[in-house]
Amino acid sequence: MKITTITAKLILAFCLSFAIVRAQDKSPDRIAVTAKRMIDVRTGKEITDAVILVEKNRITGVGSNLRIPDSAQIIALGDVTLLPGLIDAHTHLLHQYYSKYGDDNSNRILEMTQLGPAKRAMLGVRLAREMLDAGFTSVRDLGNSSVNADIALRDAINSNDVAGPRMFVSTRALSPVGGQFQSVTPEAQHLLNQEYVQISGTEEARRAVRQAIYDGADCIKVIVNSGSRRLSVEEIKVIVEEAKRANLPVAAHATDGDGPSMIAAEAGVSSIEHAYTISETVLALMAKKNIFLVPTDAAGVAKYQERIKRALKAGVRIAIGSDIYYEFSGMTRGQVSVGMYKTYLASGMTSIEILRAATINPAELIGNNSIGSLEVGRFADIIAVKGNPLTDISVLEGVVFVMKDGKVYKK
């Protein structure tokens, strides 16, 4: 009896030590993510029985039924579709308006006077997490962040103090005098410098870009027009020249007719934002100069949808941006933002075109070749959705798994 007990204990101890050794065999740095299918956004092909091998924060293997090394931890997701993490080409993560406070201008004044950089960054902590949960692993954040609060949030995310998407930030937007504010009294106008760098003349434009570079910007945002207040083509050309010298792309806000878009296209910016009313002439110039259109369409407006069709026809590439900055009651910023993709079906884009405009196109616009696709050498920014986005793009609204930089944030 006694011998049997000792034998049993020895067997148990042996099994336990074996199990511990086996567990130690699994490297925390090696992960295999498996799923029923995956979309290669570059080719538009569907890969079944998908396996993505990850080592530390990079993808080391992608394919169907790949052999999984014994040392890899397996994350078996089952009947889902793997996609590269979404990239929102136009966000404002340190900026939130509330309809109860009135229109844009009333909100703008309240935000400027009541939220300094610290409070803005804290707001951004929540909104960044909400974006990541919805499947956005990178964002291009374009101003309205007070003075360099976007830099603080970006750096906190990069050093893992805060969970959020990789942020590519502009610091304050360069703008005509008055920024995007409407009527502000002369006594209060000095406050506008919290929100915009107001420029007048080419040397002020040059100085503003150099300041943004010094502050740590990843891109430059320029407000070509605020209503009828416009920058000139000479000013934007200098902005582009200075930004290019530092390898930074230039995002140009242009609305109200064709004039501001034409100024931006002539000056050779990297992307034109909004451009709700844009002519064939400007679209042709954008195609020729490889300038991206970043539409920020929330819902179906016939004339906006029609401009997307004209842009596609002209050969202009599209990187989709949400530009969400109002609070939607009961929904997170991520949930609201990810709802935008289905809008583009009615604008004549196919599902794969939408997926590209949500991944590889913004990656190229940002100028980072480690994001935007599930390919060997890229960052392990992987999401999963139920269903197949090639047949139903709205499945992007239900992201069930998020990995960023090799780390799982949602499962």
What are the residues binding Zn ion (CB under 5 A)? 323
37 or 253: CB nearest Zn ion: 253
194 or 373: CB nearest Zn ion: 194
Residue 226: how many other CB atoms lie within 10 Å: 21
Residue 222, phi then psi, degrees to nearest 5: -125, 130
Give least dist CB 90 to Zn ion, A.
Answer: 6
- Burial label for 265, CB within 10 Å (0-12, 13-18, 19+), is buried
Output the CA torsion 124→129→133→139 (10° steps).
Answer: 50
Q: Please give the residue whose beta carbon sits closest to Zn ion in the complex.
A: 323
User: Rounded to an integer, what distance in angstroms lies between the CA atom of residue 173 and that of residue 343?
Assistant: 27
Q: Is 65 left (phi over 0), alpha (psi -120 to 50) or beta?
A: left
Give least dist CB 390 to Zn ion, A.
Answer: 30
195 or 323: CB nearest Zn ion: 323
User: Rounded to an integer, what distance in angstroms lies between the CA atom of residue 406 and that of residue 51?
Assistant: 14
Give least dist CB 172 to Zn ion, A.
Answer: 13
Helix, strand, or coil here: 389?
A: coil
274 or 356: CB nearest Zn ion: 274
Give least dist CB 119 to Zn ion, A.
Answer: 20
150 or 323: CB nearest Zn ion: 323
Give least dist CB 289 to Zn ion, A.
Answer: 22
Residue 385, phi then psi, degrees to nearest 5: -125, 155
Report yes or no: 198 and 176 within 8 Å, Cβ to Cβ.
Answer: yes
Give least dist CB 196 to Zn ion, A.
Answer: 12
140 or 317: CB nearest Zn ion: 140
Q: In angstroms, how far is CA 302 from the centroid of its own chain?
A: 26
Contacts of 178 (CB under 8 A, 6+ apart): 184, 189, 192, 198, 226, 229
Give least dist CB 407 to Zn ion, A.
Answer: 29
90 or 342: CB nearest Zn ion: 90
**Angle (nearest 5°) at CA 255 between 279 and 324:** 120
DSSP label of 348: T
Output the CA torsion 123→276→255→372 (10° steps).
Answer: 50
- Residue 353 tokens read as 């075109």
- Residue 269 tokens read as 């910016």
150 or 405: CB nearest Zn ion: 150
- Residue 381 tokens read as 């920014």
297 or 323: CB nearest Zn ion: 323
Give least dist CB 169 to Zn ion, A.
Answer: 13
Give least dist CB 136 to Zn ion, A.
Answer: 16
Q: What share of the chain is helix, strand, coil (3-state, %, to 5)?
A: 40, 25, 35
